[in-house]
């Protein structure tokens, strides 16, 4: 990075709020029932933005306009209370660029910092200023991942801690709040509560499937304020799908069902099933989305999917759960393998998203596969089955809350802090030496150890040359991240035994056998052993 580059001089929140207000004027007066509801959510967010600092929730069904509405709340609140910035926390890197791009279009590129492992910065002065801002988040709008945000709070490395002072006095929006990993739920709740009580932040938990965290926050004297005045009525008004239980279907039967629909989405639990199912579909307009594909190919595939959907062309997509959280697509029909209720409803959010068809026509078919439920999902499935027995309609705030409460009961309290982080933290507060290194090591939201495999292409061959020559830099790894796949240790060993990879270090390798990577299917490291966590 050029040492002469100065830090960016972005706009203050008041100017950004004015830009957002100008942008949203096009929605008024709203036309049609759906747009009236979206404008109602937007108005409620602006009004509640004038409320006191603290903890808020925004419970809005998918397609209700949460992204801009939550931004409107955050900017209004920040202006009213003299706050410094808005931090938007998103669960997946696979969708973060979508959110950041919306904000850049409305507020200006120079005011939005997108910070995660896969973000790219060009050599322009403007991009170098943004790259510099990743060190301390000195920007009015920061879009980052849950991994970056929470691990920074528990870190003991200066590179991660350097941004902490800029989290203070900020509005922090947790998008898709139900995605906070259960093994770290209570440490994450504790961190949010501490920021609210002692560091002048306001937190907004934003989702269509609110994870019912009131009891956990009440331990710290916090009660969330719901922004939408009547979530039950909103869910009824925005209901755009109906559900059908198909029981057990084998892959052949499921493939035949999907082939009967011109445009359809099917979400399964395991990548193995996604790859096998995709091969059973007609070749025209068939797509697969898993993390076996590198980010560059997933973005290309999503672009093609949206184009085919917009032009009424054949489009049959098989995906793992990565498509559920925030990916903006709209299918007339959807299928979902039996899993947790929140995931089923998130898949439903990709069906009839714009309300073009009736809810009766827009069917979300829930099915199971003969292989049974992976152990990883068994308790989620049990909680789903219990909820469906108790409630006629599963897409209501009451049913969703019941699901999360019962799931956490099944898991047990120890499962909500598997690394006993809060015990270690409290021991440090009681006069013992504070265990910074211990906590930093224990608090790791992505537990499964993986190795990065870089996929050589014509597009990145010069980057691969730099990698092999050890001409390493942070920007090089960011650029190469668009052409990488993370694999488990056993998969890397399989690739090594076939002479398919060149090991660079214990954490990374280069794929030498290009026949093992297909942009349509992703990396094929092996025949895939039956490992339950092999799912995204």
The pLDDT tens digits of the residues spanning 119-158 come to 443 444 444 444 444 556 888 999 988 888 888 787 655 4
Answer yes or no: do 371 and 296 share one domain. Answer: yes
Strand ordering across the sheet containing 202-207: 112-115, 141-145, 85-90, 170-175, 202-207, 55-59, 225-226
Does the residue 7 lie in any domain? Answer: no
Residue with more model confidence, 218 or 479 = 218
Q: Where among 411, 433, 458 does a domain terminate? A: 411
Residues of the chain with pLDDT > 90: what percent? 53
Across residues 3-16, what is the average pLDDT? Answer: 67
pLDDT at position 134 is 54
CA distance linking residue 390 with residue 248, whole number of Å: 22
- Domain containing 63 equals 13-236
Paired tokens of 433: 């030496």
Residue with more model confidence, 82 or 492 = 82
Burial 427-437 (b: 16+ CB within 10 A, else e): eeeeeeeebee
With a cut of 70, say whether residue 488 has pLDDT above it.
yes
Q: What is the CATH number of the domain that holds 253?
A: 3.40.50.300
Does the residue 83 lie in any domain? Answer: yes
pLDDT at position 75 is 98
Where residue 471 falls among pLDDT bands split at 50, 70, 90? Answer: confident
Where residue 446 falls among pLDDT bands split at 50, 70, 90? Answer: low
Does the residue 529 lie in any domain? Answer: no
Answer yes or no: do 73 and 154 share one domain. Answer: yes
With a cut of 80, say whether residue 486 has pLDDT above it.
yes
Q: Where among 236, 269, 287 does a domain terminate? A: 236
Calculate Rg over the CA atoms of the chain.
Answer: 23
Answer yes or no: do 178 and 66 share one domain. Answer: yes
Answer yes or no: do 250 and 345 share one domain. Answer: yes
Does the residue 475 lie in any domain? Answer: yes
Where residue 535 falls among pLDDT bands split at 50, 70, 90? Answer: very low
Does the residue 359 lie in any domain? Answer: yes
Answer yes or no: do 262 and 404 share one domain. Answer: yes
With a cut of 80, say whether residue 166 has pLDDT above it.
yes
Answer yes or no: do 258 and 272 share one domain. Answer: yes
Answer yes or no: do 104 and 213 share one domain. Answer: yes
Q: Where among 236, 255, 277 does a domain terminate? A: 236
Does the residue 425 lie in any domain? Answer: no
Does the residue 384 lie in any domain? Answer: yes
What angle do the packed helices 13-24 and 93-107 form, to 10 degrees?
90
Q: Exposed/middle/buried for 409, CB within 10 Å: 0-12, 13-18, 19+?
A: exposed
Chain mean pLDDT for the chain: 85
Does the residue 429 lie in any domain? Answer: no
Number of domains in the chain: 3
With a cut of 70, say whether residue 367 has pLDDT above it.
yes
Contact 435, 155 (CB under 8 A): no
Task: Record the pTM.
Answer: 0.85
Contact 519, 300 (CB under 8 A): yes
Across residues 376-405, what is the average pLDDT? Answer: 94
Answer yes or no: do 128 and 205 share one domain. Answer: yes
With a cut of 50, say whether residue 189 has pLDDT above it.
yes
Answer yes or no: do 363 and 507 share one domain. Answer: no
Where residue 417 falls among pLDDT bands split at 50, 70, 90? Answer: confident
CA distance linking residue 299 with residue 305, whole number of Å: 10
* Among the listed residues 259, 280, 277, 261, the one whose alpha carbon sits nearest the alpha carbon of residue 269: 277
What are 295-345's pLDDT values in tens digits? 899 989 999 999 999 999 999 999 999 888 668 899 999 999 999 999 999
Paired tokens of 243: 């559900």
């Amino acid at each position: 990075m050029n040492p002469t580059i100065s830090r960016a001089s972005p706009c203050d929140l008041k100017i950004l709020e004015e830009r957002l207000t100008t942008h949203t004027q096009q929605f008024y007066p709203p036309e049609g029932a759906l747009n009236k509801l979206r404008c109602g959510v937007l108005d409620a967010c602006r009004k509640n933005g004038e409320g006191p600092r603290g903890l808020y929730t925004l419970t809005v069904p998918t397609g209700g306009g949460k992204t801009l509405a939550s931004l409107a709340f955050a900017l209004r609140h920040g202006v009213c209370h003299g706050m410094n910035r808005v931090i938007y926390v998103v669960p997946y890197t696979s969708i973060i660029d979508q959110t950041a791009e919306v904000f850049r279009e409305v507020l200006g590129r120079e005011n939005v910092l997108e910070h995660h492992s896969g973000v790219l910065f060009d050599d322009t002065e403007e991009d170098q200023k943004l790259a510099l801002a990743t060190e301390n988040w000195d920007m009015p709008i920061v879009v980052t991942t849950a991994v970056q945000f929470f691990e920074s709070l528990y870190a003991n490395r200066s590179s991660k801690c350097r941004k902490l002072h800029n989290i203070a006095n900020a509005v922090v929006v947790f998008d898709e709040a139900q995605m906070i990993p259960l093994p770290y739920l209570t440490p994450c709740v504790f961190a949010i509560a501490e920021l609210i009580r002692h560091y002048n932040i306001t937190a907004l938990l934003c989702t269509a499937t609110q994870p019912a965290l009131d009891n956990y926050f009440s331990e710290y004297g916090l009660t969330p304020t719901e922004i939408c005045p009547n979530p039950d009525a909103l869910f009824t008004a925005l209901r755009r799908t109906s559900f059908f239980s198909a029981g057990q279907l084998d892959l052949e039967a499921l493939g035949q069902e999907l082939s009967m629909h011109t445009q359809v989405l099917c979400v399964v639990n395991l990548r193995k099933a996604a790859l096998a199912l995709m091969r059973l579909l007609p070749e025209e307009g068939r797509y697969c989305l898993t993390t076996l594909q590198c980010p560059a190919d997933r973005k290309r595939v999503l672009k093609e999917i949206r184009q085919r959907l917009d032009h009424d062309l054949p489009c049959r997509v098989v995906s793992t759960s990565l498509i559920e959280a925030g990916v903006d697509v709209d299918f007339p029909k959807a299928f979902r393998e039996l899993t947790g209720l929140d995931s089923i409803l998130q898949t439903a959010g990709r069906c009839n998203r714009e309300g073009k068809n009736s809810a009766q026509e827009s069917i979300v078919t829930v099915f199971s596969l003969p292989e049974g439920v992976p152990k990883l999902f068994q308790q989620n499935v049990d909680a789903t089955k219990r909820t469906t027995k108790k409630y006629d309609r599963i897409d209501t705030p009451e049913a969703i809350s019941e699901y999360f409460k019962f799931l956490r009961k099944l898991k047990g309290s120890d499962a909500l802090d598997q690394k006993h982080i809060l015990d270690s933290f409290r021991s440090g507060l009681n006069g013992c030496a504070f265990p910074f290194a211990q906590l930093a090591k224990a608090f790791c939201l992505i537990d499964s150890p993986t190795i990065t495999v870089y996929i050589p292409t014509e597009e990145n061959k010069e980057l691969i040359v730099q990698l092999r020559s050890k001409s390493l830099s942070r920007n090089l790894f960011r650029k190469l991240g668009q052409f990488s796949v993370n694999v488990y240790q056993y998969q890397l060993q399989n690739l090594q035994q076939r002479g398919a990879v060149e090991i660079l270090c214990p954490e990374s390798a280069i794929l030498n056998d290009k026949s093992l990577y297909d942009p349509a299917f992703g990396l094929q490291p092996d025949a895939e052993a039956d490992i339950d966590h092999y799912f995204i």
